[in-house]
Structures are given as C-alpha cells and as structure tokens.
C-alpha cells in the first residue's frame, strides 16, 4: 500500500512539473498579438486576445516589454485587459525615427510566456517644415492631440459640420508646435466649452499661420473662463496671416461665477509673442455676466506680457448685459473694447482698426435705493482700457458706435435707464476708455463715429458729505475718457465728428414725511447742465483728425464710409 501511495505521489509531482513546463513553453492556452500606432515620440500599443477566462484570473498578469533594435531591454508596461479581449498601453518620450521591438508576455503564477513580438518605428514626420505632418481630414486634425510639439501642414479645406465640438489642447497639454494653414479654410466649427475654449484651446510656444476659418460657434457654459476662436489662452506664441469670418459667441444667461475673458481670436496672452496681419470679421459676441472681472475684445480680450499686434482688423458686434451678482450687490471690473478689451502689453499695437457696434446694458433692474453699486466699467471703440502700466498704440482707428445704457434694450429702455445707475465708475471713450500710465503713449490715432457715436443713458446720483456735493463718477469722451498720461505722450489723437450724448436724470437721496429714504429729481437747469458738462469731454475734436493716419488706413476708412 505504501508503495502505491509513493507511486501516486511521484506521478502527481511529475504532472505538476510537466504542467509548469508546459505553461512556461507556450502552453498556457492564451493567444494574443500586438499592433501599434506611432507618433514622433510615442508608441500606442494594443494587445488583442482570443477571449480566455484565464486573463481575468488574479494570478494572471499581462505586460508589454520594450527593447531597442538590438533587443536590449528598455522598460515595460503592465496591460489591463478589458473583457478578456484587449488592452492598451503607451510608451512615451521615445526617440524620433527609431526602430524598437515590442514583446507581449503573459505570466501565470509567476511563470512567464511570450505570446508575440513585433517591430515598431517612431515617425520621422513633424520635425521641421519640410517634414510637416500633412492634415487632409478632420480626423487628421483631431489627431494633433497625440503630438503637441510637431509641425503640421493643412493640405485640404476641412468642414467640421458633422464632427462634434472641439477644443484640442489644455493647460496641462498645451500646443507648442507649428501649424501652417497653407491658406486653406476650416469651416463650420463648434467650439467645445472648456476652461480654455478655442480651436487649439491653449497655446504655449506655438505658431499658427496662413489659415482661414469660417463660421464658428461657441455657446457659453459655467465651464468657460478663457475663450477665443484660435485659443482661450496664448503664451509665448505667434499668430500670423489668419482670417476668421463669422464668429458667434452665445453667452446669454451665463451663470458663471468665474472671471470671464472672451476674445475674438485669443482670450488672454502671456509672455512674449505677436499677432500680425490677422482679421476677425463679422463677430457677434453676446455676454450676460454677473460680477467678477469681464474682459472682452474682438481681437484679444486681455493683452498682457510683451505682445506685438500689427496690421490687424476687427469687425462685428459686442453686446454685454451686466447682471446683479446678488439681490443687493452689483460688482466687478469690466474692460470692453472693439479691438482689445484690456491692454497692458509692453509692446506696440499698430497699423490696425476696429469696425464695431458696442452695446453695454444692465439686466435685472432694481431700485437704486435697494442696490449697492461697486463695479467699474471701461469701454472703448478700440481699447477698453489699460489696467497695467503700459499703453503703446500707434496709427490705429476705431470706427464705432457705442451705447452704454443702464437698462435692458427694450422699447422703453431709455426711460428706465435714466433712473438707474450703470456703474460706480464709468469711463466711455470713442477710442479708449482709460489710460492710466505708460512709458510710451498714443500716437496718430482716430475715433470716427458711425451713426450715433458715443451714447450713454444712466442716472446721476448726488451725495453730500461735509457739505460737499459729489456726483456719480462718469466720464464720457470722443477719444479718451480717462487720461493720466503726460501730455507729451498723446500726439495726434482725434475724433472726426461731434457725435456724443449723455441723457440722464439726476437725483439725490432724502427723507420723506414718513422718514423713509426716497430719491428726488434735481430740476435746476443750471445744475443739470453743469453735471452734463462735467461728464462729457469733447477734446481732440477736429474735422481733419483722419489726416494723421497712414495712407493704407485712410484707404480702409474711406472704404468703410463708402459702405455706409
């Protein structure tokens, strides 16, 4: 009996050994193969299997190992097999145009078996203009998100009408390559609502050139903080020879509590870069915004850093509805410009113009007695204002109508507006709302009214402290509403026509017979005229103001006037 038991034990041990040997010599029963897609520096590897329950066993692991072409081991990645069928891994930071060997392994109870081996080569495309990756389809365009540093060349017109929404790159994975549009057209684009919304989303050290874009749409959500057709944010980047025609930004009923930066081409810039020979045509930007900061401009909303803007054009409409941020507080700082919203770039804005209609109005009207006003509003036909310490503008003009009214644009909005405060601080200029300081200045620039010119309707509130009367802080100008520059830094800045008006009711707060706070109209004609005179600035009015422009800008202005 003992001999029989020993014999069975011996047979069992032999069976176990042969089982292990079989597993380690390709007898696991698992069948798998590798395939891959390559970029310049990455290999996206897929492992496909015939369905096998062993792949879901906790004692089974799958991996792909990477070797150089001489089969020297480099590294490995574990594979998570989905549904016992397939899994994917990506090898990153590889050498361009280099052959590698990929091997697929399965390990059961620590015994490893090689299932497949293939050669894989990273691409040689996209390292220079000569080897730029060709883009001929929408899928090719979207595939740029696989390689953010490459050179790309558009070799066909693209229609995104049936392609869903897109904003390719993010702050953590920003585009730093070069995109040559090759004078082709991208059309019917719906931008995805992200923190940084735009065709490219976020640029960092990128270059975009020779590109036409037509019919772009973006609907605001609470997600968006920076938006522009090209990118919501551009750091150390260059835009050149770009034409965008027909951009619709639907920001009605937006409830975002973030600061909001919306530009036609770019939301916000940072670092050093340039925007040259670019056009934003037929833009229609509508925003309804509660409190916080709002920057909005048809070329750039917030131009910071050391950015040059030259030989560029903006045309379209801006409609900005300002909401109450709560039942009692109405706050925020807003820079709204026909060309640039807020400009603090250390470099020059030159040889450019805006053709724009700007409407700024209040929503959700409350009684002024019940509402605290603590917002600042800067509006300009060309630039809203410069919140920083630089403003260097030369040979530019604004062809603009600007309406700022303290009511919704309904049939009786003028009547309502005259009884509402629009802002705690208001600066409205035909060319620029506010210039605080600069080592440079404004030279050879023009404001030319379109139809109504600069028009403001709001209530003026009178307060008396220590027997001293003060009024709402409003300045409305044909050129620059608030100018803190030295006189020598403003040269040849003028307005062509006297089209400016301010309609208002002036009121002061007092007590009625029931000791309740009430607002009473100021009716003294002399005082009312004095208030109006103190708010309106018609300096720099000249019938020859356009003479300071370059010949090319004079021609552009004459073309606009002929259209009218």
What pLDDT is attached to residue 429?
97
pLDDT tens for 250-290 read 987 655 567 899 999 999 999 999 999 999 999 999 998 75
Flag whether pLDDT at 355 surpasses 60: yes
Instruction: State the pLDDT confidence band at 220, using cuts at 50, 70 and 90.
Output: confident
Comparing CA positions, the residue from 460, 445, 467, 466 lying closest to residue 529 is 460
* Cα–Cα distance, 292 to 261 (Å, whole number): 11
To the nearest whole percent, how much of the chain has pLDDT over 90? 70
Question: What does the pLDDT look like over 414-465, one tens digit per residue?
Answer: 888 888 888 889 999 999 999 987 778 899 999 999 999 999 999 999 988 7
Per-position b or e across 283-306, b if 16+ CB within 10 A of its CB: bebbbbbbbbbbbbbbbbbbbbbe
Distance, in Å, from the CA atom of 545 to the CA atom of 398, rounded to the nearest integer, reads 12
Look up residue 172 and give its two tokens. Answer: 């953590």
* CA–CA distances in Å: residue 473 to residues 371, 414, 460, 461: 17, 20, 9, 9
Report the candidate in 426, 508, 422 with the shortest Cα–Cα distance to residue 462.
508
What count of residues does the chain have?
A: 564
Q: What six digits make up the tokens of 41?
A: 């520096």
| pLDDT tier for residue 513 given thresholds of 50, 70 and 90 | confident
Q: Which of 469, 463, 492, 495 is nearest to 481 (CA)?
A: 495
What does the block give as tokens for 416? 């309502």
For 135, residues 6+ apart whose C-beta sits below 8 A from its C-beta are 141, 144, 152, 153, 154, 155, 156, 158
What integer pLDDT is reported at residue 255 of this predicted model?
53
In terms of Cα–Cα distance, which of 456, 440, 467, 547 is closest to 505?
456
**Strand, helix or coil at 558?**
helix
Long-range CB contacts for residues 17-24, cutoff 8 Å, separation at least 24: 20/111, 23/108, 23/109, 23/111, 23/113, 24/111, 24/112, 24/113
Q: Are 84 and 53 in contact (CB under 8 A)?
A: yes
Neighbours of 326 (CB within 10 A): 12
564, pLDDT greater than 90: no
List CB contacts of 426: < 8 A, sequence separation 6 or more. Answer: 376, 377, 404, 456, 458, 472, 473, 474, 475, 476
Mean pLDDT, the chain, integer: 89
Q: Half-sphere exposure of residue 543, counting CA atoms within 13 Å on the CB side?
A: 0
Which is nearest to 281 in space by CA: 248, 326, 314, 327?
A: 314
Distance separating alpha carbons of residues 50 and 69, to the nearest angstrom:
28
pTM: 0.85
Residue 19 has pLDDT above 60, yes or no: no
CB-CB neighbours of 104 under 10 Å: 24
Cα(128)–Cα(132) distance, integer angstroms: 6
C-alpha span between 110 and 181 (Å, rounded): 53
> In the block, which residue shows the tokens 């620039």?
445
């Amino acid at each position: 009996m003992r001999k029989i038991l020993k014999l069975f034990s011996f047979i069992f041990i032999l069976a176990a050994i042969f089982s292990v040997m079989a597993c380690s010599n390709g007898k696991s029963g698992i069948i798998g193969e590798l395939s891959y897609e390559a970029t310049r520096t990455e290999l996206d590897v897929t492992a496909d299997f015939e369905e096998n329950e062993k792949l879901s066993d906790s004692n089974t692991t799958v991996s792909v190992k990477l070797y150089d072409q001489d089969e020297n081991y480099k590294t490995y990645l574990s594979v998570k097999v989905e549904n016992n069928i397939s899994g994917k891994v990506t090898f990153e930071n590889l050498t361009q145009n280099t052959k590698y060997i990929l091997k697929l392994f399965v390990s059961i109870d620590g015994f490893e078996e090689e299932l497949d081996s293939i050669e894989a080569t990273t691409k040689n495309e996209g390292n220079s203009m000569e080897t730029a990756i060709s883009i001929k389809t929408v899928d090719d365009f979207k595939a740029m998100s696989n390689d953010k540093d490459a050179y790309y060349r558009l070799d066909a017109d693209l229609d995104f009408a049936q392609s869903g929404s897109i904003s390719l790159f993010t702050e953590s994975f920003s585009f730093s390559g070069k995109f040559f549009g090759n004078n082709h057209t991208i059309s019917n684009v719906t931008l995805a609502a992200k923190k940084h919304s735009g065709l490219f989303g976020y640029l960092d050290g990128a270059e975009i050139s020779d590109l036409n874009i037509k019919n772009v749409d973006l609907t605001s959500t609470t997600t968006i903080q920076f938006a522009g057709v090209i990118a919501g944010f551009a750091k150390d980047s260059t835009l050149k020879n770009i034409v965008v025609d027909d951009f619709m930004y639907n920001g009605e009923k937006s409830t975002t509590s973030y600061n909001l930066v919306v530009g036609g081409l770019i939301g916000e810039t940072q670092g050093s870069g340039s925007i040259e020979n670019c056009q934003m045509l037929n833009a229609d930007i509508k925003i309804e915004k509660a409190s916080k900061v709002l920057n909005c401009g048809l070329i750039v909303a917030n131009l910071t850093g050391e950015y040059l803007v030259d030989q560029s054009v903006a045309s379209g409409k801006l409609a900005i509805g300002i909401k109450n941020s709560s039942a009692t507080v109405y706050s925020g700082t807003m820079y709204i410009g026909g060309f640039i919203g807020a400009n603090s770039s250390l470099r020059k804005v030159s040889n450019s113009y805006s053709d724009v209609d700007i409407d700024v109005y209040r929503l959700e009207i409350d009684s002024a007695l019940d509402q605290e006003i603590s917002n600042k509003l800067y509006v300009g036909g060309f630039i809203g204002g410069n919140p920083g310490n630089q403003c260097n503008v030369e040979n530019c003009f604004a062809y603009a109508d600007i309406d700022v009214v303290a009511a919704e644009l309904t049939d009786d909005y003028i009547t309502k507006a005259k009884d509402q405060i629009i802002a705690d601080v208001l600066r409205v200029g035909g060319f620029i709302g506010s210039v605080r300081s600069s080592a440079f200045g404004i030279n050879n620039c023009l404001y030319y009214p379109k139809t109504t010119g600069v028009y403001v309707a709001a209530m003026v509130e009178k307060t008396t402290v220590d027997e001293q009367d003060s009024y709402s802080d409003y300045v409305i100008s044909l050129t620059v509403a608030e100018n803190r520059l030295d006189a020598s830094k403003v040269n040849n800045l003028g307005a062509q026509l006297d089209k400016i008006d301010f309609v208002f009711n002036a009121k002061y707060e007092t007590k009625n017979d029931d000791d309740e706070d009430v607002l009473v109209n100021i009716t003294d004609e002399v005082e009312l005229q004095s208030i109006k005179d103190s708010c309106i600035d018609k300096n720099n009015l000249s019938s020859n103001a356009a003479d300071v422009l370059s010949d090319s800008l004079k021609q552009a202005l004459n073309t606009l006037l002929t259209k009218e």
